[in-house]
């Protein structure tokens, strides 16, 4: 990998994104690539503050519209303070979630808010990853894995299984609509098997 690149991991809660993003970043570093590993919501001090507002508390704490604004505000700060400076310094950025999560979580699950998500993205973010790994897996297994972590950030996991099924189909549709940058990964395997498939894309 010679050019600096922006690489994202997407998928439902508990699908193994964090595990694989970390392993892929380690793999790139071992090859001598400068890497910044980051995550959303969060990835910069201001965006981490917004993360706390978004992921804790009552599932009905925010309206759908307010939630889109908060995720977009966090992303804008993440882009300004972490992603763009790293890319400008010639580093590869690996992010655990990015704009595809808003397209699916906010755009596809709560009425038809996708046009609003897309307008805000065009206005405030206007950046796509060069490469996105979409980890697909059975939501029953993923939910068990995710809740077992007891992170205290379960506001979205608390919406339950039908919500996760809707998300899964949202991510699959998104991967099929963007074959130029999205690679679909079967997450129903061991972490080692998945990591070696992903490493082959480096």
Q: Which residues contribute to the site for ligand TYD (CB under 6 A)?
A: 13-14, 17-18, 40-41, 55, 71, 96-97, 101-102, 105-106, 146, 156
Q: Report the DSSP pairing between strands 131-136 and 6-11.
A: parallel
Residue window 7-36: x/- pattern of binding to ligand ADP, with contact defined by CB under 6 A: ----x-xxxxxxx-----------------
Q: Which residue, 10 or 67, has its beta carbon nearer to ligand ADP? A: 10
Binding partner selected for residue 16 from ligand TYD, ligand ADP, none, CB under the kind-specific 5 to 8 Å limit: ligand ADP
CA 188 from centre of chain = 18
Q: Three-state SS across 77-141?
A: HHHHHHHHHHHHCCCEEEEECCHHHHHHHHCCCCCCCHHHHHHHHHHHCCCCCCEEEEEECCHHH
CB of 101 to ligand TYD, least distance (A): 4
Site residues for ligand ADP, 137-176, by CB under 6 A, read 145-146, 149
Binding partner selected for residue 133 from ligand TYD, ligand ADP, none, CB under the kind-specific 5 to 8 Å limit: none
CB of 187 to ligand TYD, least distance (A): 12
CB of 13 to ligand TYD, least distance (A): 3
Site residues for ligand ADP, 89-148, by CB under 6 A, read 145-146
**121-156 burial, b if ≥16 CB within 10 A, otherwise e?**
beeebeebbebbbbbbbebeebbebbeeeeeebbbb
Q: Which residue, 21 or 120, has its beta carbon nearer to ligand ADP? A: 21
- Which one of residues 2, 58, 179, 190 is an interface residue with ligand ADP (CB under 6 A)? 190
Residue whose C-alpha is closest to residue 143's, from 124, 156, 129: 156
Structure-derived torsion over alpha carbons of residues 54, 69, 11, 179, reported in degrees to the nearest 10: -170
3-state secondary structure at position 12: coil
Residue numbers of the site for ligand ADP (CB under 6 A)?
11, 13-19, 145-146, 149, 190-191, 194
């Amino acid at each position: 990998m010679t050019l600096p690149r922006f690489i994202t991991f997407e998928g439902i809660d508990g699908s193994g994104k964090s595990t694989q993003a970390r392993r892929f970043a380690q793999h790139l570093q071992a090859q001598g690539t400068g890497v910044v590993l980051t995550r959303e919501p969060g990835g910069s001090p201001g965006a981490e503050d917004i993360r706390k507002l978004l992921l804790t508390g009552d599932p009905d704490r925010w309206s759908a519209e307010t939630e889109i604004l908060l995720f977009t505000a966090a992303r804008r700060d993440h882009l300004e303070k972490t992603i763009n400076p790293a890319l400008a310094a010639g580093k590869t950025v690996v992010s655990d979630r990015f704009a595809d999560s808003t397209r699916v979580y906010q755009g596809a699950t709560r009425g038809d808010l996708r046009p609003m998500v897309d307008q805000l993205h065009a206005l405030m973010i206007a950046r796509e990853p060069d490469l996105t790994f979409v980890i697909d897996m059975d939501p029953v297994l993923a939910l068990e894995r995710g809740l077992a972590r007891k992170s205290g950030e379960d506001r979205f996991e608390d919406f339950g299984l039908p919500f996760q099924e809707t998300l899964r189909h949202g991510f699959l549709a998104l991967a099929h609509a963007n074959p130029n940058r999205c690679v679909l990964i079967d997450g129903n395997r061991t972490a080692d098997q998945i990591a070696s498939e992903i490493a082959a894309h480096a």
